Amino acid sequence: MTAASTPKGERRRQALVEAAAELLVERGFDAVRHRAVAERAGLPLSSTTYYFGSLDELVAAAVEHHGRAELVRGSALLAALPTQPRGVDAVVDLVLDQLLGPPAGERDAELVLLRYERLVATFRRPYLRPLMHVLGAELRGLLLEVFTRSGMEFDARRVEQVIAIVDGAVVNALIEINTDPRGVARRMLHEFLAP
Amino acid sequence: MTAASTPKGERRRQALVEAAAELLVERGFDAVRHRAVAERAGLPLSSTTYYFGSLDELVAAAVEHHGRAELVRGSALLAALPTQPRGVDAVVDLVLDQLLGPPAGERDAELVLLRYERLVATFRRPYLRPLMHVLGAELRGLLLEVFTRSGMEFDARRVEQVIAIVDGAVVNALIEINTDPRGVARRMLHEFLAP
Amino acid sequence: MTAASTPKGERRRQALVEAAAELLVERGFDAVRHRAVAERAGLPLSSTTYYFGSLDELVAAAVEHHGRAELVRGSALLAALPTQPRGVDAVVDLVLDQLLGPPAGERDAELVLLRYERLVATFRRPYLRPLMHVLGAELRGLLLEVFTRSGMEFDARRVEQVIAIVDGAVVNALIEINTDPRGVARRMLHEFLAP
Amino acid sequence: MTAASTPKGERRRQALVEAAAELLVERGFDAVRHRAVAERAGLPLSSTTYYFGSLDELVAAAVEHHGRAELVRGSALLAALPTQPRGVDAVVDLVLDQLLGPPAGERDAELVLLRYERLVATFRRPYLRPLMHVLGAELRGLLLEVFTRSGMEFDARRVEQVIAIVDGAVVNALIEINTDPRGVARRMLHEFLAP
DNA sequence: TATGAATGAGTCTTCATTCAT
DNA sequence: GATGAATGAAGACTCATTCAT
């Protein structure tokens, strides 16, 4: 159903979005240029402006691409999560899974970074705001459910605190040479939830 | 002693740094360009490459300029702070003064934003790392002293939590339209310190 | 009979011509582009190349559209004009009605401008020449009749002088800020006819 | 004194202006593009934006180049003109020399055309207005002097009529295949001055 | 008969950096 | 020590036209 039934135009558009999304993680917002995207997608330069009215649109699509993928993954994790009381250690990891994505791998740091780059970048790119709000709301929903299924009665305010702790920890860890944002956040969140 | 005894070269260098620093707050890292800096400083274009080996050096100088200014201000606040027990409300404000700068008006958000833009930007600009570390260490020292003088026995770990709470709150507030990062951080920090 | 009996193709073609004609007055020859025309007509982009072999054809059609409309209006004015001796003042106005169109308000200048833009543009657009000749001949016929019905025995040469005076006056008035080509032409023509 | 003492930068700037001016006569306003100008001048593309802040500036310089050259030529003719009574025939030719430039040669028509293209183009290019006013004023001064030295007491109004007659005649002649604007204007002006 | 898709060529402009003086 | 001059590479975006369907 993918290759066969997806209209060709839609496939090319998708290829551009993916190319842009890759550049976004690898080299940041500044790297998402018409030329770079087209080359990576193996498509002519003008296809970028054909499928996207402006570079901003393409950037937004790339941000959304990542955001959606993260939410899909988060939802999947949640769907597989039985409702049962859990200890702090377990909950902390579930929270990090939702907030920072999969535990590790090659580009762990880059992928985590992107979550904060886009937050900060939104300030100077108002066109990202609506998208970021939607993404943020869905993430919070997921997180709330994680707590619920773990037997913890957290309200929205408490969830917000958890998010703040994790994000604050990560943002400050970003300047380390061999940064381990996940590790730092885990420690901090653990202390917070089990003082 | 300043104008008279400072060598001309040093003065011009400083003018460039200040111009770059202004651009940095106003329009972000991308706005720090040779041309823009030189024009704002009222100096010839090539003075930028004459005094700074590359644009990165200039960016680093601008970041340092802001960082140092913040620390100077923070130190001054601290110097004027009598040692005496304080309630949570008072401490929260002192912390925010150190972490986010003066309560401010006009460009409050921009100035706060810069603190996070540079944190996040450091990941892709390794040359900023040493500087950011020094700056961070000094800030933490200031913060620790604030707690000490307020009769609170916080250790480094606790300070780190406070920083995380504030930074996490702010970073998430950055996507709001009429963002009030300071207000959000105040609420969150208050809940954290006086649950 | 118009909407009902006009074949669909012919109607769409006409819509394109009208869109092009609008762009032509509003923003000049350069503004007549496939995209702009199609968008304004609310038709698909490729309909422009489908109904017109090239952009030039479309431009020519737009020029003709205006030229014909002016002649139709001029003929109507003439048809309503009783044969009777007239003073210079009255004749001057009748001439201006024919040469510059209705006294107008809002876009007076733009509409007048077009008459000269197309004259000048014809030099570099040979494909407009035959059309411009036909249009010019008909206009001269109208003008001659105006004089005749006003009791003035002007020959073709005299008509040519009148045209020159008006056109020369207008063309020179085009560089004024709040240009009043009609006013300028009226004064000049008056002096010419009643020295 | 030309090549030797003219600073190099000024020479290159001049080369660009001349290239632009050539394109302007040969192919009209639309042909004055960065690429085309740079290529014709044998200079790198970016030299065009180095010497001229925008394409408009370059276009204006090209227009001024022609305008000034015409005035210089007109002044020279005038300087060589003894004060003495002249017949209509002679005066007509002197007027045409001033208004249309040298009698003939290769690109006669193109050069004449430019005088009207720029008049008409000014309407949609407001930045040309001041320049066109200055040029126009100087031309009128020249013309007035021509009449004075020929023993004709023309006032500004009469001069304006003469200009209108010539310009109107030319503008209408521009649509002819083998256009002879000078000839047409001569006949018309003659009739006007010696009816 | 129509049109959506597509693109190569070109538009103006910006910029970091080099270099001769 | 200082800078005006210069430019290759790249930036976002536009457009007439072609073509498969």
Per-residue pLDDT, averaged over B73-91, amounts to: 96
Q: Which amino acid is at D92?
A: V
Specify the higher pLDDT residue, B105 or B117: B117
Cβ atoms of D59 and D29 closer than 8 Å: yes
Taking only the tens place, the pLDDT of each residue in C68-113 is 999 999 999 999 999 999 999 999 999 999 999 988 765 678 899 9
Angle, helices B88-100/B55-79, rounded to nearest 10 degrees: 150
B4 band by pLDDT with thresholds 50, 70 and 90:
low
Average pLDDT, chain A: 94
The pLDDT of residue C177 is above 80 = yes
Average pLDDT over residues C14-39: 97
* A129–B28 CB contact, under 8 Å: no
- Is any atom of strand F within 7 angstroms of residue B186's beta carbon? no
What is the distance between the alpha carbons of residues D168 and A35, in angstroms, rounded to a whole number? 51
- Summarize the confidence of residues D30-59 as an average pLDDT: 97
pLDDT of residue B107: 64
Q: What's the whole-number average pLDDT of chain D?
A: 93
Predicted local distance difference test score (pLDDT) of residue B194: 87
Residue D71 pLDDT exceeds 80: yes
> C4-14 pLDDT, tens per residue?
567 778 899 99
Lowest average pLDDT, out of B54-58, B150-154, C139-143, D3-7, goes to D3-7
Measured between beta carbons, the chain B residues lying within 8 angstroms of A27 are 124
pLDDT in the model for residue B2: 47
How many cross-chain Cβ pairs, A to B, lie less than 8 Å apart?
106
The mean per-residue pLDDT over the stretch C44-62 comes to 97
**pLDDT value of position D1:** 37
What pLDDT is attached to residue D100?
A: 95
CB nearest C168 (choices: D129, D163, D175): D163
How does DSSP classify residue B126? G
Q: Distance between CA B191 and CA B168 in Å, rounded?
A: 14
> Looking at residues C151-174, what average pLDDT do you find?
96
The share of chain B scoring above pLDDT 70, in percent, equals 96
Beta-carbon separation of A119 and B163 below 8 A: no
In this predicted model, what pLDDT tens digit does every residue of A104-146 receive, in sequence order?
765 678 999 999 999 999 999 999 999 999 999 999 999 999 9
Mean pLDDT of all residues in A36-60: 97
Of A142-146, B154-158, D105-109, minimum mean pLDDT range = D105-109
Residue D107 confidence (pLDDT): 62
Q: Residues 6 or more apart from A113 whose CB is under 8 A from it?
A: A174, A181, B120, B123
CA distance to partner chain A, nearest, from residue B26 (Å): 10
Nearest Cα neighbor of B30 from A34, A121, A63 is A121
Nucleic chain E contacts, Cβ below 7 Å = A 7-9, 12, 43-47, 50-51; B 33-36, 45-46, 48-49, 54-55; C 8-9, 12, 43-47, 49-50; D 32-36, 45-46, 48-50, 54-56
Range with lowest mean pLDDT among A57-71, A104-118, B116-130, D15-29: A104-118
Q: Least CA distance to D157: which residue of chain C? A: C188
Instruction: Name the B residues in 119-178 with CB < 8 Å from any A CB.
Output: 119-120, 122-124, 128-129, 132-133, 136, 157, 160-161, 163-169, 171-172, 174-175, 177
Residue B1, pLDDT > 60, answer no
For residue range D111-168, list pLDDT tens digits in order: 999 999 999 999 999 999 999 999 999 999 999 999 999 999 999 999 999 999 999 9
pTM above 0.95, yes or no: no
Taking the C-alpha atoms of residue B188 and residue B165, their distance in angstroms, rounded to an integer, is 7
- How much is the pLDDT for B106? 55
Q: C1-53 domain in CATH 1.10.10.60?
A: yes
Least confident of C4-13, C46-55, D84-93: C4-13
pLDDT at residue B93, rounded to an integer: 96
CA distance C124 to chain D (A): 8
Q: Please give the share of chain A, as a percent, with pLDDT higher than 90.
A: 88
| DSSP assignment letter at D84 | -
Alpha-carbon distance C113 to C107, whole Å?
A: 10
Does residue D7 register a pLDDT over 90?
Answer: no
Q: Is B188 on the interface with A (CB under 8 A)?
A: yes
Lowest mean pLDDT among B10-14, D35-39, D49-53, D131-135: B10-14
Q: Strand, coil or helix: what is A129?
A: helix
Q: Give every CB contact of residue D147 below 8 A, 6+ residues apart in sequence.
A: D91, D153, D154, D158, D159
Distances (CA, A) of D21 to A4, A31, B139, D114: 57, 40, 62, 10
What is the secondary structure of C127-145 as a DSSP string?
A: GGHHHHHHHHHHHHHHHHH
pLDDT at A5: 59
Assess whether pLDDT exceeds 90 at residue B121. Answer: yes
Model confidence at C169: pLDDT above 90: yes
For the segment A148-156, the average pLDDT, to the nearest whole number, is: 94
**Of residues A65 and A7, more confidently modeled:** A65
